[in-house]
Amino acid sequence: MSLIHTSHLPVPPPTVVDQPQNLTLWQYMKPIRAKWLTGVAVAICASVIGISIPQVLAWIVDHLVANENPSGSTVWAGGLLMIGLGLLQAGLIFVRRMLVIDQASTVEMSMRMSLFDHLMRMPAAFHDHWPSGQLLTRSTSDLSLMRRWIAFGSIQSISSTVMLAAGLFYLFRGSWLLGLIYLCSVPFMLLTLWLFVRTMKSLTRSVQQQSGDLATSVEESVQGIRVLKALGQGQNSLSRFTAQASTLMNTEIARSQAVGSMLVKTISITAVTMAISLFVGIHQVAQEKLSLGELTAYFATTAVLTPQIQRAGMLISMWLDSKVAMERHREIMQEPVGEDVLLVSGVTTPQVSRHDAAGVKFEHVSFTFGRGKKEVLHELTLDVAPGEILALVGSTGSGKSTVLQLIPRLYAPTRGKVLLDNTDISTIPLPELRAQMAIAFEEPVLFSSSVRENVLMGVETEKFNSEELESIVATALRVSASDFVDTLPDGVETLIGEEGMSLSGGQRQRLSLARAIACDPRVLLLDDPLSALDVNTEEAVVGMLKEQLKNTTTIITAHRPSTVALADRVALLDKGRIAAIGTHSELMKNPAYARLMLLNPDDSTAKNHTSQNQEVL
Ligand SMILES: Nc1ncnc2c1ncn2[C@@H]1O[C@H](COP(=O)(O)OP(=O)(O)OP(=O)(O)O)[C@@H](O)[C@H]1O
Ligand SMILES: [Mg+2]
């Protein structure tokens, strides 16, 4: 049984990124290049046909003017030819769309998958400093801009350029003087467009950046909606959001104004050019240097060309959108992934057979969350024997969660080594390392799927039949005292809302614990997993966990003595150093530890359990 059925989805080939700093849209287009180039060729044919239609018009007009009794058949033939060419052009435009639209969507999907794959493989440190809204817009709207460019903008730009060249050829062939007049307007047009590009470039980047910031705000506000409501911060939050939204609106308006001003300038240049051409053209017809048909063709040709030139502004803005979007995409793709897992290519979790519990060692480990940040762990040395349950205690901020996160290599030590069964974990491939451990985080995170799917998330479900899976779920729920699941409307099949928000904090915590237990890992890492439970439930869970974890090395961080009761040994962490290690009663002689434990009212539970522990020891 697979939790997510993806087999029916089209999977675009992953893009192999050797040098992500040089990553281009062209590389992503590799699988569709042939069709895209065919689309370009078809579009060029359509443009050439479109710009040639005025020549037929010239022929008809000249025929009408030259013959006093023009034959109807020539007019009919000319008219039918024009209709035929028009239909052919329309047909080619249709073929071009059919050729490219699906293909552009495939590139968009492939880019989206590469980006998501990259994001999944990024070390936790990357996600510490990248706002999620930015990642959201980069995987949604930015990529749609790129699809629009591939499907329309790029092809339109090429075909319009060819149309302009063919149009100029026809203009010069009709009358070199009129052709020259039209050509003289081109540098003015180019200057206008160049100024436009300069303005638009920075505005485009600002719009995309500000959209990302806005998405971050929406996300934070929706996630923290309860806090905002409870603190009566709705109005303030709205004001902050309004300020951000109006900044974005102003930038959008500035963009529209730039487009508008560019259009006014290009239309004015065109109007002046037409006026001069009309003046010169009529003069040339009067002097019989130009036929009436040729003059008609001139204006008909410029009538086709002018909208193309005016559209250049929109095409340039589309090109800039896609260019900036590609830069923003590259910015993420060139961040070193640092994790040797490849998701897109379908590399599955390695088959790590369940051995006995593994030993975990820290050797002189120092750690900082980033350059310039303070050192959180200093020369930490710790030896946890296979099958042992070790409690990590210490005041808040002493580094307990950090120690746990170094073991599955969510972060790498700055100095020193972490060893699993005496092997440096930096030498173990990540999938292999992580397949041997499970972690329940301090902040339980659930996903919007059923209770069963949440519990089985870390289990290789294909290895078990459905009865075995039922039994894994049942055991995990029993040991974590998640009996509340029976009272949910559909039991284990109940869909839990976004991030499990429909459950209480304690219920979420127990499901998160159940998920970690269900993996039956060699090393279980529990970050204060019972903090939201009442003392009775906690006692029940501690009893069942102790039984369940006989063959699992467990490191559990705790604030409450009642959770410490689970442990064979306790390590006291003080400002990133192990200050003391031993059984609970040994450590009670340590004044700092005693103070930490005695501060807690349910200390009696710990004393009872620790006396049992000592009997075991
Ligand atoms: N992602 C992070 N980036 C930078 N600093 C961090 C990060 N996470 C934690 N820290 C810092 O590292 C130190 C240790 O944090 P840690 O979460 O390990 O403490 P803890 O012992 O688990 O605390 P608590 O009992 O409150 O859970 C703290 O000073 C904290 O500010
Ligand atoms: Mg913590």
Output phi, psi for 388, to 5 deg.
Answer: -80, 150
Give the 3-state DSSP-derived string for 29-74, with helices as H, strands as E and coil as C: CHHHHHHHHHHHHHHHHHHHHHHHHHHHHHHHHHHHHHCCCCCHHH
Type and span of the H or E element at 238: helix 234-286
Number of H helices, E strands in the chain: 21, 10
Asked if residue 162 has pLDDT above 90, the reply is: yes
Q: How confident is the model at residue 346 (pLDDT cuts 50, 70, 90)?
A: very low
Q: How sure is the predictor about 89, in pLDDT bands with cuts at 50, 70 and 90?
A: very high
Decide: 244 and 215 in contact? Cβ < 8 Å: no
Does residue 543 belong to any structural domain of this protein?
Answer: no
Residues 6+ apart with CB under 8 A from 14: 110, 113, 114, 117, 342, 344, 345
184 token code pair: 């003289």
Is 525 among the domain residues? Answer: no
The alpha carbons of the chain give a radius of gyration, in whole angstroms, of: 35
Q: What is the pLDDT of residue 338?
A: 66
Name, of 21-25, 348-352, 398-402, the range with top average pLDDT: 398-402
Residue 583 included in any domain: no
**Residue of the nearest CA to atom 18 in ligand 1?**
399
Name the domain boundary from 502, 520, 538: 520
Q: Which residue reads 């975990």 in tokens?
A: 360
Number of domains in the chain: 2
Residue 466 sits in the same domain as residue 324: no
Copy the structure tokens of residue 556: 């559990």
Q: Dig out the tokens for 172 from the structure.
A: 């010069």
What's the 150 CA to ligand 2 centre distance in angstroms? 47
Q: How far is the CA of 601 from the centre of ligand 1 (A)?
A: 25
Which atom, in ligand 1's list, is nearest to the CA of 399? 18
Question: 327 and 458: one domain?
Answer: no
More confident residue, 4 or 416: 416
Q: How far apart are CA 516 and CA 440, in angstroms?
A: 6
What integer best gives the mean pLDDT of the chain? Answer: 85
Instruction: Name the more confident of 46 and 125.
Output: 46
Per-residue pLDDT tens digits for 144-157: 999 999 999 999 99
Q: How far apart are CA 46 and CA 496, in angstroms?
A: 54
- pLDDT of res. 366: 95
> Which of 257, 49, 47 lies closest to 157, judged by CA?
47
- CATH number of 160's domain: 1.20.1560.10
User: Residue 484 belongs to a domain with what CATH number?
Assistant: 3.40.50.300
d(CA 576, ligand 1 centre) in Å: 10
What mean pLDDT comes out for the span 243-258? 93
pLDDT band at 605 (very low <50, low <70, confident <90, very high): very low
Domain boundary among 306, 333, 360: 333
Tell me whether residue 597 is in a domain: no
Nearest ligand to the C-alpha atom of residue 392:
1
The whole-angstrom separation of Cα 145 and Cα 328 is 12
Residues with CB under 6 A from ligand 1: 128, 369, 373, 376, 394, 396-402, 442
Ion ligand 2: residues, CB within 5 A, are 401, 442
Cβ count near 353 (within 10 Å): 5
Question: pLDDT grade, residue 228 (50/70/90)?
Answer: confident
Q: What does the pLDDT average to over 424-442? A: 89
Longest dimension (CA), the chain: 124
pLDDT of residue 2: 35
Collapsed DSSP state (helix, strand, coil) of residue 75: helix
Predicted confidence (pLDDT) at residue 66 exceeds the cutoff of 80: no
Q: What is the mean pLDDT of residues 306-316?
A: 80
CB 322 within 8 A of CB 329: no
Q: Is residue 225's pLDDT more than 90?
A: no
CA distance 218 to 210: 12
Return the minimum-mean-pLDDT range out of 273-277, 457-461, 552-556: 457-461
Residue 578's pLDDT band, with cuts at 50, 70 and 90, is: very high
Give which of 171, 191, 197, 194 is closest to 183, Cα–Cα.
Answer: 171
359 has a pLDDT exceeding 50: yes
Q: pLDDT band at 613, cuts 50/70/90?
A: very low
| Cα angle, residue 148 at apex, residues 145 and 154 outer, rounded to 5° | 115
Q: Which numbered ligand comes closest to the C-alpha of 374?
A: 1
581 has which bridge partners?
571
Place of tokens 């070390």: 123
- Give the Å distances, CA to CA, from 126 to 119, 122, 336, 434, 444: 9, 6, 9, 19, 21
DSSP character string of 147-214: HHIIIIIHHHHHHHHHHHHHHHHHHHHH-HHHHHHHHHHHHHHHHHHHHHHHHHHHHHHHHHHHHHHH
8 Å CB contact between 388 and 553: yes
Is residue 365 within 8 Å of 415, Cβ to Cβ? yes
Residue with CA nearest ligand 1 atom 1: 128
Share of the chain above pLDDT 70, in %: 89
* Predicted confidence (pLDDT) per residue in 499-538, tens digit: 566 788 888 999 999 999 999 899 999 998 888 888 888 8
| 3-state SS record for 344-382 | CCCCCCCCCCCCCCCCEEEEEEEEECCCCCCEEEEEEEE
Residue 24 maps to a domain:
yes
Residue among 396, 401, 530, 572 to mutate when testing ligand 1 (max atoms within 8 A of CB): 401
Q: Taking Cα atoms as reference points, which of 399, 397, 417 lies closest to residue 409?
A: 417
- The burial of 59, by beta-carbon neighbours within 10 Å (0-12 exposed, 13-18 middle, 19 or more buried), is given as middle
Give the residue numbers spanning the domain of 469: 446-520
Give residue 483's pLDDT: 87
pLDDT band at 340 (very low <50, low <70, confident <90, very high): low
Atom 25 in ligand 1: residue holding the nearest Cα? 396
> Does the residue 128 lie in any domain?
yes
16 DSSP assignment: P
Question: Residue 617 — pLDDT band, cuts 50, 70, 90?
Answer: very low
**CA-125 nearest atom, ligand 1:** 1
Q: Is 399 helix (H, G, I), strand (E, B) or coil?
A: coil
State residue 13's pLDDT score: 46
* Average pLDDT rounded to a whole number, residues 49-78: 81
- Identify the domain boundary among 491, 520, 549: 520
Distance between CA atoms of residues 530 and 444, nearest Å: 11
256 part of a folded domain: yes
Q: How much of the chain, in percent, has pLDDT values that exceed 90?
A: 43
Q: Calculate mean pLDDT across residues 298-318.
A: 84
* Spatial contact of 492 and 450, defined as CB atoms under 8 Å apart: yes
Question: Rounded mean pLDDT of 119-139?
Answer: 86
Question: What per-residue confidence (pLDDT) applies to 548?
Answer: 85
User: Cα of 399 to ligand 1 centre, how many Å?
Assistant: 6
**pLDDT classification of 353: cutoffs 50, 70, 90:** low
Tell me which residue has tokens 């985080």: 441
Of 144-148, 177-181, 289-293, which gets the smallest average pLDDT?
A: 289-293
User: Based on the domain organization, do 87 and 219 belong to the same domain?
Assistant: yes
Q: Is residue 61, in this structure, part of any structural domain at all?
A: yes
* Residue 438 and residue 458 in contact, taking contact as beta carbons nearer than 8 Å: yes
